[in-house]
Structure 1
Amino acid sequence: MSTTTRARRTASGIALLAVVLTAAGCGGTSTAASTDPDPQVIRAGYLTVCTSLPYEPFEFERNGETVGFEIDLAKAVAEELGVEPDFKNEDFDAVQSGQLLNENACDLAAAGLTITGDRARVLDFSSPFFNAAQALVVTGNSGISNLDDLRGGRIAVQAGTTGELYVTDNAPRNTQVVPFDDIGEMSSALNGGTVDAGVYDNTVAGSAIKEYPSFEIAAEFDTGEQYGMAVKKDGNVDLLRVVNQVLADLEADGGYDELYTTWFGTKKKS
């Protein structure tokens, strides 16, 4: 794991999708056939998207509607396909494990998924669309400034996340790692004093601080993480091609920058 440093908050560049052409010739003549993607969806007329709420500002509920930065990216994919998006709020572990996608419960996962080797064995990821890091969040006047200060203490993490992996690998041995199902439960535990700190993706730590003004970021850990959307393993390469093309088009025409500013309040750093 990387040592503590200031986290990079720049969004990742999106690789352009290559269009593959094949040609066949016979008797001095040739034809070219396009391999344009032909994605299939599990429910006609809809792109079924598994997400995991709340994870503000990437995906969360506002006035009864699922909204967020990554939600808007998924909506752009649905628009490209000419179908309606249908968002399903699911347990994060069931999403990141590949269970829901590979059982055809959804077409696409959009849940703040960090691309990792373990996950890539059970999911097929899109091009990365965001860089992230981990943040150590504490209550004010806690005196905690790093993981070593939590020796013998309790750290909240979200179960099944890269934050849990980072803390497990880097916290002092006698520190208790306490997993929770979602960010809201983590924040409640920290606010109630049943844990001494929480480790969040730095991109969502701000929403926890907004809800609980006594919270503050004590340290950030540059873990080199990148987010991607995902489809079922070896089962929907055409949908993946469309996702990558949409991401590339948004990056090229400025749409990505507009969405970034909308949901993060600042321009994307270059």
Structure 2
Amino acid sequence: MMNIDRRSFTLGMAALAASSMLPGFASALTLADLKKKGKVTIGMLVDFPPYGILNSSNQPDGYDADVAKLLAKDLGLKADIMAVTGPNRIPYLLTGKVDMLVASLAITPERAKQVLFSKPYSAASIVLYGLTKTNMKTPADLKGLRIGVARASTQDVAVTKIAPEGTQIRRFDDDASAMQALLSGQVDAIGCSVTVAAQIAKRAPAGQFETKFPLLQQNMAVALRPGDEALAKTINEVIAKNIANGELDKLYQKWLGASLPKLD
């Protein structure tokens, strides 16, 4: 038993030593460090429209790209945007391949054990969107109404959780089918993202539909490495400034066709 413990200890210490040699683990990253190299390398998704996409020139674009450029500008740096994926975005950050993430990363307790989150700069909002003429101010008002959702989606779970007995929940294969059901009058409202709601508003007669109430909101934040508290404080100040002056709201309106949600 003693030999096994010593071996485990030795392997653990070797792993720790190896990790400390990786970029980003040696010391905390500061704004002064970034100023020295004149740029900040920011990881973002490019397969999550409209937050992250590739434009016609095959360059990162979307809401997150604009936010990344805005943050870099306010820090007095050039934005060097690197495409990452959902699975590799946190490893890229922790191993120093990127300085920070503006990558549609929702704040969760599990992720907070791995990375240092800034204050939220955005949110993915799920809302109940339906006929303006039909009263739907609270979940209790859904009784007897036809509510559409994409089957097994986040909005399906959210609607099912709050709907009183007597609500007719109609499940469709995807958001596009649920949207068509609302436009054709098969349902009175649907649970959907604000992005889908904006698409419906463009296709329907003005004033026919409206957002009734929020169902769920996942706040997204800039992610930094643990230990980068000083840099995170600066990022928080920049985010607060751009919420107050309306710049983040302008970008949200540009890409998602809705006002920036209230961020806690």
Cα distance, 1:231 vs structure 2: 3.6
What per-residue deviation string (whole Å, max 9, x for no partner) do you get for residues 55-98 of structure 1?
Answer: 4xx5567766654444322223456564521346x6xxxx4xxx
The TM-score with structure 1 as length reference comes to 0.52
Cα 1:101–1:267 shift into 2, 3 Å = closer
Letter of the 1:212 partner, please give it: R
Structure 2 counterpart SS, 1:261 = helix
Cα 1:138–1:108 shift into 2, 3 Å = same
User: Could you tell me which of 221, 228, 251 is aligned with 2:214?
Assistant: 221
Instruction: Report the RMSD for the aligned CA atoms in angstroms.
Output: 5.1
Q: Who is 2:89 aligned against? A: 101
What per-residue deviation string (whole Å, max 9, x for no partner) do you get for residues 79-127 of structure 1?
Answer: 6564521346x6xxxx4xxx4434549862533x553446646765321
Whether 1:36 and 2:30 are equivalent positions in the alignment is: yes
Task: Give matches, 1:1-270, under 5 Å.
Answer: 36=30, 46-50=41-45, 53-55=48-50, 67-77=61-71, 80=75, 82-87=78-83, 95=86, 99-102=87-90, 104=92, 108-111=101-104, 114-117=106-109, 120=112, 124-130=116-122, 134-138=126-130, 143=134, 145=136, 147=139, 148-149=141-142, 153-157=146-150, 161=154, 163-172=155-164, 175-176=168-169, 178=171, 187-188=179-180, 190-191=182-183, 197-202=189-194, 204=195, 207-214=198-205, 216-217=209-210, 219-221=212-214, 225=217, 227-231=219-223, 238=228, 242=231, 245-252=234-241, 257-261=246-250, 263-264=252-253
Structure 2 counterpart SS, 1:53 = coil
CA distance in 2, matches of 1:180, 1:241: 46
CA distance in 2, matches of 1:121, 1:164: 29
Cα distance, 1:219 vs structure 2: 1.5
CA distance in 2, matches of 1:48, 1:117: 21
CA distance in 1, matches of 2:214, 2:261: 19
Letter of the 1:251 partner, please give it: A
> Residue 59 of structure 1 contacts residue 66 of structure 1 at CA under 8 Å; is this kept in 2?
yes
Higher normalized contact order (CA 8 Å, seq sep 6+, divided by chain length)? 1
Gaps of 5+ in 1: 1-32
CA distance in 2, matches of 1:221, 1:269: 10
Give the greater-gyration-radius structure (CA). Answer: 2
Cα distance, 1:144 vs structure 2: 6.7
> Residue 122 of structure 2 contacts residue 260 of structure 2 at CA under 8 Å; is this kept in 1?
no
Cα 1:35–1:252 shift into 2, 3 Å = same
The structure richer in helix per residue is 2
Cα 1:132–1:53 shift into 2, 3 Å = closer
> Residue 145 of structure 1 contacts residue 218 of structure 1 at CA under 8 Å; is this kept in 2?
no
Instruction: Report % sequence identity.
Output: 18
Letter of the 2:212 partner, please give it: A
CA distance in 1, matches of 2:131, 2:186: 12
Cα 1:205–1:255 shift into 2, 3 Å = same
Gaps of 5+ in 2: 1-26
CA distance in 1, matches of 2:197, 2:78: 35
